[in-house]
Structure 1
Amino acid sequence: MALLFCGVLVLLCGLDAAWAILVTDMDYGGIPLWINRLLGEPSVLSLQGRMDPAWFRANNPQTCPEQCDCPIQWETSLYCDHRALENIPEGLPQRTQYLFLQGNNISSLSYSTLANLTNLRWLIIDNNQLKSDKLEQTSLQNQTQLRYFFANRNYLTSVPGGLPAGLKQLRLANNQISSISPGAFQNLQNLTLLLLQGNRLQTMTGDDVKGLVGLNLLDVSGNLFSAVPKHLPPSVQQLYLSNNFFSGLHEGSFEGFHNLKYLRLSHCGLQSEGIHPQVFNHSSLVELDLSYNQLTTIPTVPTTLQYLYLEANRIQEFNVTSLCREVGPLSYSRMKILRLDGNKMTYHQLPPDWVYCLRVLQRIYI
């Protein structure tokens, strides 16, 4: 696989020799964004500082709003980002499928503004001043082709309703969201990624998440949860709960997550006595992050776990039985990476039989 680094862009040769781009910019909710060039998706999400806008206007015969750039090579893309705009430009070309508005001062989103765009697939309005009471439900409801809606770092106080059924990614990180509009997710069977970290949510009910039958990644880190939310979609494979404050984890905290592979619980104030011995007994788990808590012992984890992060806790001893119930020719941990650095123990405190349990371990930090 060939890699080419260019600023924040990484070009990757993907499946079927398809070129894609992985964008590692935190402006998009902290989760990298894959771009598929075979689908005609634009290779960059901003043209700022890359090319002279006057060159586009001199060489592109198609109409283009004065406040935006319309590159020849991505004729369905409209770049209106970082222009200090207070409103979305009028007269957006009907051909627009990818609309980039990040880094402006836009506070409202109306139906009339987007009415002419019948094939809009991406709408990125990160780092603006968008407010819930100025986001018209019909502005998004009628965008039947919309697949990605990003509104990170705005002033939304609730998850908007009326989202189109075809939506695949919804990124609303770092707003002021304290509630979810009734039925907001009811028709979003195609949604695979939902970012709600850095908001003010205290609870999520079954009705709140009803409809999210295909959700793969859910990030609700940095909210105000005092317990693991119940009734979360069982389809979730990546669940991020860091930077909340949990009084404990009971046996059924993750009940029903039969596909759960990646679980993050760092910075949650967790203590060993508040963690049920069976809470992580999920054979599907691949990675578990419990770093920066107040644990004094290694919690019991499944032998199938491959990555365990326990750095910056208060662990004083290495308990082999937490990782291996028994040790034998076919009974051992599949652990590859184990982090224990920043605890109250040294490498010399490891018991002699730890190597028989962790026989496929690639790296240990202690």
Structure 2
Amino acid sequence: MALLFCGMLLLLGGSDATSIADMDYGGVPLWINRLLGEPSVLSLQGRIDPGWFRANNPQACPKQCDCPIHWPTSVYCDHKGLEHIPDELPDRTEYLFLQGNNISSLPSSVLANITGLRWLILDNNQLQSDKLEQASLQNQTKLHYLFANQNHLTSVPSALPDGLRQLRLAHNNITSIGKGALQNLHNLTLLLLQGNRLQTIAQGDLKGLVSLNLLDLSGNRFSTVPRHLPPSVQQLYLSNNSLSGLDEDSFDGFLNLKYLRLSHCGLQSRGIHLHAFNHTSLVELDLSYNKLTTIPRVPTSLQYLYLEANEIQEFNVTSFCREVGLLSYSRMKILRLDGNKMSYNQLPPDWVYCLRVLQSIYV
């Protein structure tokens, strides 16, 4: 009954579950909980006549924005060609949508009368680091989601509220994080920094992120795996960096690393230490689109391995199993080797004893 009720709420919201999950907010979907009254992330543009809202909604609403009756705490000011955040935002505002405008600054006064802001979405604007006033966000104690993907930021904003759970800053011009900028964000679970210009992460940059689960550093300028990353991270994305190699201790310190993405990094077999992936917590490893000539050694606990589009010429059973026995075998479920320099006929006859629970193999 609860699932049926949730589905009804999705329909009333004007979109289905698939379209909500597929929305691109920095590459990671934003999941909506209708049972908590969270609004649609889809633009209202072209879906409902704004004049209808104004004629039937007794509550105040900025003239540049839309304030739907069925989400009374939401204010949609997205894709309006705005250069500034509208004045006199309703003090009831909890969800503020400002994506797709030309906003370059965030003055402290514009959010001063709002005390319950939960989401602030500023994607696809012209935000500049030197035009973000620290006090503008510092007092937003209930802010959980801050999205500023695809702007012109050169550093991570400082003085962020302690309650923040998601910070999405993908595809900016960020070259530094800044010591202390994130140190009080003990509740942050997701940090997106892909598509920036980071070359290194200093020792104190990510200190304090004790709850961080997903860290995306793809598409930056790292030449080695950055050190000083939070040990709580379970999903680490480093694709599209030019990594010189992987040392034995490149991923030491991670207590529960499960998903590791290293595609498009220019990795070569001779640059990967034999024990680089010696982490029994790993569930999925993506090494596709590199320059590997051999299959690296992986833990027997690994379930998903993506090696497509490399230069691999042979299949080594010892890469998956150091020994084969009643309880000694690989837990691999999906193995991709397509786009390499080998064929299915090159697989040794004993590979099935090692990969005995394999569900799919692509060669």
Fold match, TM over 0.5? yes
CA contact (8 A) 1:24 1:30 kept: no
Identify the range of structure 1 (256-265 vs 37-46) with the bigger mean alpha-carbon deviation.
Answer: 37-46
- Aligned sequence identity (%): 76
Structure 1 residues 10 and 225, CA, compared in 2 at 3 Å: closer, same or farther?
farther
Mapped to 1, the partners of 2:289 and 2:100 lie a distance apart of: 33
1:11 to 2:8 alignment: no
What is the aligned partner in structure 1 of residue 276 from structure 2?
279
TM-score by length of 1: 0.95
1:84 to 2:84 alignment: no
SS of residue matched to 2:140 = coil
SS of residue matched to 2:54 = helix
| Structure 1 moving runs of 4+ over 6 Å | 1-6
1:140 to 2:137 alignment: yes
SS of residue matched to 1:355 = helix
SS of residue matched to 1:149 = strand
Structure 1 residues 45 and 138, CA, compared in 2 at 3 Å: closer, same or farther?
farther
Mapped to 2, the partners of 1:95 and 1:71 lie a distance apart of: 13
Mapped to 2, the partners of 1:359 and 1:161 lie a distance apart of: 51
Query: What CA RMSD, in Å, does the superposition of the two structures yield over aligned residues?
Result: 1.8
| Number of residue pairs aligned between Structure 1 and Structure 2 | 357
Mapped to 2, the partners of 1:283 and 1:253 lie a distance apart of: 15
1:311 to 2:308 alignment: yes
SS of residue matched to 1:239 = strand
Aligned AA (2:54): R
What is the aligned partner in structure 2 of residue 125 from structure 1?
122
Cα deviation per residue 1:129-159 (whole Å; 9 max; x = unaligned)? 0000001111010111100000000000000
Q: Which runs of 5+ in 1 are unaligned?
A: 13-20
What is the aligned partner in structure 2 of residue 355 from structure 1?
352
Aligned AA (1:11): A
CA contact (8 A) 1:161 1:182 kept: no
Cα drift, residue 10 of structure 1: 4.6
Cα drift, residue 181 of structure 1: 2.5
Mapped to 2, the partners of 1:44 and 1:50 lie a distance apart of: 13
Mapped to 1, the partners of 2:354 and 2:138 lie a distance apart of: 54
Cα deviation per residue 1:43-91 (whole Å; 9 max; x = unaligned)? 3342122111111111111010000000000000000000000000000
TM-score by length of 2: 0.95
- 1:1-366 to structure 2, matched below 5 A, reads 10-11=16-17, 22-26=20-24, 28-366=25-363
Q: Which runs of 5+ in 2 are unaligned?
A: none
Aligned AA (1:62): Q
SS of residue matched to 2:159 = coil
SS of residue matched to 2:17 = strand
Mapped to 2, the partners of 1:205 and 1:252 lie a distance apart of: 17
Aligned AA (2:17): L
Cα deviation per residue 1:16-63 (whole Å; 9 max; x = unaligned)? xxxxx843122x100011111122111334212211111111111101
Mapped to 2, the partners of 1:212 and 1:82 lie a distance apart of: 33
SS of residue matched to 1:170 = strand
CA contact (8 A) 2:20 2:40 kept: no
Aligned AA (2:84): N
Cα deviation per residue 1:136-194 (whole Å; 9 max; x = unaligned)? 11101011110000000000000010000000000000000001133111100000000
Aligned AA (2:249): G
Mapped to 2, the partners of 1:330 and 1:10 lie a distance apart of: 45
SS of residue matched to 2:32 = strand
